[in-house]
Structure formats: C-alpha cells, structure tokens
Amino acid sequence: MSDLDALMKAFGEAGGDKAILENNEIAHLVASGHKLLSMNNVEGLEVDAKETLTGISARVTVKEGVRIKNPVHLCFGVLHNKGTQRIKMDVKLEKNSYAHLIAHCIFPKAEKIRHIMDAVVEIGEGAEMRYSETHFHGLYGGIEVVPKSAVKVARNGRYFTDFTLTTGRVGKLDIDYSVEAEENAVTELRARVFGHANDAIKIKEKVVLAGENSRGLIKTRVALEDEAEAEVTGITGGNAAGARGM
C-alpha cells in the first residue's frame, strides 16, 4: 500500500471522505510526514508547496475577487508511531475573495510524535476566510501538537477559525494564535478539546481590535477527565473607537 493510500485509509476510518482526491473541482494538499503525496489546484487558487530539509512549506493565495466554491482540503499526518512533522503555511486572501480551508490532521498510532505548524495569514480588504482544523489522534497519548498562527485582517475583512480535538488522546497541545483586526473587520476564534488521562492542554488566543468598529470573539470549550490538565488564556484588546470584543 502506498503512503497516499495508507493516509487516505486512516482518513476514511476517522470519518473523512476519501472521494475528495478524485474530484477535480476540489482543491487539496496531502502530506505524510515531510513528504508531499498529492495536490490539486482550482481556478483562482494558487498553491505552491514543496518539501524542505525541515518539513513542508506551502504558500496559498486566493486571487482578488475570487470565491472558491468548494472547501480547500489540507490533509497532514504521520502514520508511523514516531516522527516529527513541521508545516509552514503562508496564506493570503486578496481583496474581496473568499475561501474555506479544512485541515485534517491524522496521527492514529502516535507514541512519540511532534506536529508543529507555523502559519502566517493575510486577509485582504473585504475578503473572508474560514479555517476548520480537526485532529484525529490514537489512544497512546504520545503526541505533541504545537500550532501557531499570526493573522492580519484588513478593512472589512472577516476571519473565522474552528479547532477541534475530541477524538483519541490529546497528548500535549500548545496553541498560540494571534489576530489583528482593522476597521470594520470581524474575527472569531473557537476551540473544542477533550482531555483524558494525563493529557496537557495549553491554549493562548489573542485578538487585537486595531481598527474602528472592529469585532472579535474568543470561545474555548475544554472538557477534562482523569488527570488531564488545561491552561486557557484569552486576550482581547480594543485600540479604536467602537471596537467590541467577547
């Protein structure tokens, strides 16, 4: 079985739809460890991805005025029980564009794995981006997940993100998200995590409402059982007239 087939098999067992790779109208990027396995672009979307000495580097651009009809699927995983995966993402939505990115992160056998993602996101004037990240972990708890993102939302832009890790053990999770919103921009950060055994969860989310009438929402739900621990920090700063945060 090829690496792609094995990853898609695990994706399907986690509830995903393997048919997305066969649909030319759906953009996707699939990587296992530090190896690119599959990629498909659609009109108005540019994805430049490459393997590097330290991981995967990808630049995603949605062109001005383009609305991507179907969600863009990003599938990242490690199928072995040990390893490291580093993903560097640069995402740019140009003026008045729209895209929904769905990231599937799959680690079914994680005993000693580190998954590190650094993302820089730029939402152009009047553009809207929705980003959904769902994790599927195994039952061993030997995984460390370290997602970090820095987001700038321009005038009248909109940015919505949803992080979900409720299947399998969390292991160690260390989220660090920051968003800066300009005039009339809207941003919402949502996270749902379920910790078990000795899982360790750390979530830090910061929204800076830098423009007039900008709005921000941080909503985090963490459930714990056994000896699991969590530290959740939400920071909202209003630096302009009419800014509203929750």
pLDDT one-digit tens code per residue, 27-71: 999 998 899 999 999 999 999 999 988 789 999 999 999 999 999
- Amino acid of residue 93: L
User: Whole-prediction pTM value?
Assistant: 0.94
The larger pLDDT score, comparing residue 67 to residue 110, is at 67
Rounded to whole angstroms, the Cα distance separating 39 from 32 reads: 12
Report the mean per-residue pLDDT for the chain.
Answer: 93
- Residue 141: which region, alpha, beta or left (left: phi > 0; alpha: psi -120 to 50)? left
Sign of the alpha-carbon dihedral angle for 133, 22, 106, 10: positive
| Alpha carbon distance 147, 94 (integer Å) | 24
Question: With 80 as the cut, is the pLDDT of residue 16 above it?
Answer: no
pLDDT in tens, 164-221: 999 889 999 999 999 999 999 999 999 999 999 999 999 999 999 999 999 999 999 9
Nearest residue to 116 (alpha-carbon basis) of 55, 63, 163: 55
What is the signed CA dihedral for 242, 209, 74, 95, rounded to 10 degrees? Answer: 70
| pLDDT band at 1; cut points 50, 70, 90 | low
